[in-house]
């Protein structure tokens, strides 16, 4: 049998987070080489963090809706067709715009083998 996993986002393991939803895409698909989550963000949902402790760089891709990304005082509109990469030390804030958003988040530590955080296995593996 071929080494392939195909799932609808709605069928992946998930957990409610502060009014939004974290979809455990990495665990649900069996990905082992990088972090991969989908976040369903209602209108106005705001979260911020950096990855200084983990050293992980992140890439964000909007699948539906749009978000405002704020980094170092600059704001960027992320919508379908726009992709962003943020370095580990940068504090980033993401706010879902009026339509809400479905955001694909990809992460990993440059030059290192991927080691998933225990939080990302809450509903998977």
pTM for this structure? 0.86
Averages of pLDDT over runs of 10 residues in the chain (125 residues) are 93 90 93 92 93 93 97 96 96 96 94 68 48
Q: Tokens 């983990």 belong to which residue?
A: 54
pLDDT of residue 123: 45
**Cα–Cα distance between 89 and 51 in angstroms, integer?**
6
pLDDT of residue 122: 53
pLDDT of residue 115: 72
Domains, the chain, with CATH or none: 13-109 (2.60.120.10)
């Amino acid at each position: 049998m071929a080494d392939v996993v195909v799932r609808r986002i709605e069928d992946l393991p998930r957990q409610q987070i502060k009014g939004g939803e974290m979809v455990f895409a990495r665990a649900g698909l069996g990905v082992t080489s990088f972090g991969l989550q989908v976040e369903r963000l209602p209108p106005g949902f705001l979260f911020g963090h950096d990855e200084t402790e983990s050293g992980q760089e992140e890439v964000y891709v909007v699948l539906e809706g749009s978000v405002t990304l704020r980094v170092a005082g600059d704001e960027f509109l992320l919508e379908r067709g726009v992709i962003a990469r943020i370095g580990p030390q940068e504090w980033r804030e993401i706010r879902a715009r009026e339509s809400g958003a479905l955001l694909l988040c990809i992460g990993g530590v440059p030059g290192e083998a991927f080691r998933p955080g225990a939080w990302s296995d809450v509903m998977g593996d």
